[in-house]
């Protein structure tokens, strides 16, 4: 279970769908690292964010940091 739903959009953006930190709508971040920061703010607000979601984003951010943007 999770209080957040994050998915990857075109152009390396990440979307926090129906973001609970907003009045209405989604939060978009330019990359994984920014989405990790965003999800940590959800946690501070008491929302349930699965650790493996954070781990996955961190792993992808580290991968991109090493290899450059090679996806697609």
The contact set with Zn ion (CB under 5 A) reads 16, 19, 21, 27
Shortest spacing between CB 59 and Zn ion, in angstroms: 20
Shortest spacing between CB 33 and Zn ion, in angstroms: 15
Shortest spacing between CB 70 and Zn ion, in angstroms: 27
Q: What's the CA gap between 10 and 35, in Å, rounded?
A: 15
Place of tokens 């951010």: 61
Q: How open is the CA angle 11-34-36, to the nearest 5 degrees?
A: 115
Nearer to Zn ion by Cβ, of 49 and 60: the residue is 49
């Amino acid at each position: 279970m999770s209080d957040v739903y994050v998915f990857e959009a075109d152009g390396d953006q990440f979307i926090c769908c129906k973001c609970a930190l907003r009045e209405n709508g989604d939060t978009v971040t330019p990359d994984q690292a920014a989405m990790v920061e965003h999800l940590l703010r959800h946690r501070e607000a008491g929302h349930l964010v699965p650790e493996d979601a954070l781990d996955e984003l961190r792993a992808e951010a580290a991968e991109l940091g090493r290899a450059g943007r090679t996806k697609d």
